[in-house]
Amino acid sequence: MKTNSTLKILLAALLLAAAAFRAQAQATPPGLVPPTETYAGKTHAQWLESWFTWMFSIPGKAEAFPFMDPTGANSGANQSGPVFFFAKSWLGKKGNPPEQRAATVPEGTALFLPFNGYYIDPNPARDPATITAENRAALNDWGMQVFKLVVDGQEVPVDSSLSSPILHATSVHTLSIPADAAARSPEVGYGGLPEAVYPFQSYEWFVLHKPLPVGRHVVHLFNNGFIGTPDEWVSDVVWTIDVVARPLSRDVIATSATEFSGFRDVAGWSYGHRTAPAAGASENYDPARDFIPFSGGPAQGDWDGQRQQWNGTAWKAKDGTELAAGSSRLAAANRWTLRRWQASELLEKSPVALRWTLAKADATCGNGVTGALHINGQLVDKATIPFDRADALTRTFYALLTPGDVVDLALRPLGADGTDDLGCDSALMTLSVSTAIPNFPRQPDNKLFLTSLPTRKLELLSQATANGRSTVNWSSQASATYGIKASGDLVNWADLASGLPGNPTATRWSEPLTSPEQPARFYRVVEESKTIEGLWVAFYEGNGYELIRIKLDGNQAVATKLIGDTYIRSGEVTWEADIKTGVGQQQVAAGSDFQGREWVSGTLKITNSDRLTFTWTGVGTSLFRRVD
């Protein structure tokens, strides 16, 4: 009995240890983006689609194809946005030393690191469900894979099983392979595929690694082989990665005219239309549900206006509604065209200038047209021009955008007389996005952009009881922690949870109900702590309002101007201070453009989590308020 009890205790301990090991193995390593989370507005499956689009977009000979590039010299080709795509290798055999490749990556850019994957050669005649089933069946027959990832000498755990959280499947979508693509070289082997094939689906084990700091890094990627030759063919690559600094302001980051194409989600641009709302209805809409993309694309057959709406130079529906590089034409009174840009090139929440133009293509007829700018489906700017205006109307709207936000420039048939007359409703229109903001930016209605920025407030968004749980949802910030209190009488409050980390926009918390008869109770969300990291509007005496981003390095706060003045311009540090002692220094200049600049001592005072001041010794005090 004694021995049996000892064995039971030992077995229980082993089971607990195994469970703990499994839990630890399944946790996402701190350097990786969790596979269930989005990054810069895209899911991992969507980034996988972008990875394939990138690979097949590169022109040239075989050595330009990412898998075949022996040194990484071509690794920067067609790279843009918040994620840098890396390739596996087709050059290594078992027993060979790892390949040595090099790449230069802009700071703030995540790394797409692939291990292995599989897809059935696409064929337009195949049913999408068949493609998915054949892909999965091939994976099930593949056997155990071995992957290895080492970043700067530290091995990152990688699960290579078929239930691995890093195994992702693309949606069934169109894969485009241009005629001049390096992938079509005989050594690569995609030459037999048409330029555009549908449907296409892939499974791939990969990770998104969070941005590495500026400097040199070494990343080792290994997998034990491709299907059919798991013991003889390996992908074994050591990347030397130089992460280089880049300025805060990169000026124009998107232009609709020069980046126009017959592909969706290239450089962030997509093209579609929507059914106009009924008279008197809200002009706002659901950006996902109400956006109808034009169908088709290059090399998907001759234009028919239905399945294939790309005619070689423009997107065009059968009724004549058209969207081209610098123009659009409406052919139905209940239709708007939408030129869409998704803010995937932004690295963090940032101010941008949205500059859009509108002009009548024919200034001799019709009743005019309307252009409208929407952010995430919400109308932010609108203008109507009469039929006889020959020059272009140009407007600039300033906004704080988060990575993944959607900006739509719509053309509407609404004329100057208030009717949707379609006569001569062909218009010239463009949209550009810039991170270069003037010192005193004003909206089209002449209101100062900075003074109109809202201050974030803690707001209880919803409270609901369902499926045996009570759930609370509130507005939040990633830099804050929250607590939950409950009361049955609104007088006596009990603590239920503490130290809950906030998400960037909203946070959800729930608790199980003890019984269906549990009496109703009220919840209160409290903000327990908040760092001063984030965006702040400051008032500088003599210079007006400016936008500041504060970052923390331990106790050291560094405040950088995103919208500056003629003395200390955008992108420069305005002050730095110790948040514990308040001791700091501020940069000042005697003349414009940094003339006679110097550092003077100063003091930081944090009034509360949304208000602070910085006093320059012998000069004055600047007031700061946190903005949403």
Q: Is the pLDDT of residue 518 over 90?
A: no
370 shares a domain with 469 = no
46 falls within a domain:
yes
Please report the pLDDT score of residue 516 as a whole number.
Answer: 64
235 falls within a domain:
no
**Residue range(s) defining the domain that contains residue 313:** 252-434
543 shares a domain with 600 = yes
Query: In this predicted structure, which of 223-227, 292-296, 390-394 has the lowest mean pLDDT?
Result: 223-227
338 shares a domain with 311 = yes
19 falls within a domain:
no
Please report the pLDDT score of residue 286 as a whole number.
Answer: 94
446 falls within a domain:
no
31 shares a domain with 47 = yes
525 shares a domain with 539 = no
273 falls within a domain:
yes
112 shares a domain with 31 = yes
Q: Would you list the DSSP string of 21-72?
A: HHHHHHSPPTTB--TTS-BTTB-HHHHHHHHHHHHHH-BSSGGGSGGG-SSS
263 shares a domain with 205 = no
* Among the listed residues 80, 77, 81, the one whose alpha carbon sits nearest the alpha carbon of residue 55: 77
* Final residue belonging to a domain, choices 477, 504, 530: 530
**Tens digit of each residue's pLDDT (9 = 90 or more) over 5-53:** 333 333 333 333 334 333 333 467 778 999 988 887 788 998 998 898 8
303 falls within a domain:
yes
Q: Is the pLDDT of residue 339 over 70?
A: yes
378 falls within a domain:
yes
91 shares a domain with 28 = yes
pTM beyond 0.85, yes or no: no
Backbone angles phi, psi at 476, to 5 degrees: -150, 175
Q: Is residue 368 within 8 Å of 360, Cβ to Cβ?
A: yes
355-391 core/surface letters (b: 16 or more CB in 10 A; e: else): bbbbbbbebeebbbbbbbbbbbbeebbbebbebeeee
Q: Is residue 229 within 8 Å of 142, Cβ to Cβ?
A: no
* Final residue belonging to a domain, choices 468, 499, 530: 530
305 CB neighbour count, 10 Å cutoff: 15
Please report the pLDDT score of residue 121 as a whole number.
Answer: 63
Instruction: Report the distance separating Cα 271 and Cα 214, nearest Å.
Output: 36
Mean pLDDT across 475-490: 84
Instruction: Report the distance separating Cα 263 and Cα 271, nearest Å.
Output: 9
Q: Is residue 407 within 8 Å of 433, Cβ to Cβ?
A: yes
524 shares a domain with 397 = no
**Tens digit of each residue's pLDDT (9 = 90 or more) over 546-566:** 999 999 888 899 999 999 888
Looking at per-residue pLDDT, the higher value among 494 and 514 belongs to 494
508 shares a domain with 479 = yes
Q: Is the pLDDT of residue 535 over 50?
A: yes
Share of the chain above pLDDT 70, in %: 88
By residue count, the chain amounts to 628
Please report the pLDDT score of residue 143 as a whole number.
Answer: 67
Backbone angles phi, psi at 15, to 5 degrees: -65, -40
What are the C-alpha distances in Å from 514 to residues 468, 497, 517, 520?
8, 16, 8, 11
Question: How many folded domains does the chain comprise?
Answer: 4
455 falls within a domain:
no
Please report the pLDDT score of residue 304 as a whole number.
Answer: 92
Please report the pLDDT score of residue 423 as a whole number.
Answer: 75
Q: What is the mean pLDDT of the chain?
A: 83
388 shares a domain with 289 = yes
In the block, tokens 């037999």 appear at 192
Q: Is residue 329 within 8 Å of 426, Cβ to Cβ?
A: yes
Q: Is the pLDDT of residue 342 over 80?
A: yes
Amino acid symbol at 251: D
35 shares a domain with 138 = yes
Q: Is residue 290 within 8 Å of 377, Cβ to Cβ?
A: yes
Instruction: Report the distance separating Cα 345 and Cα 560, nearest Å.
Output: 20
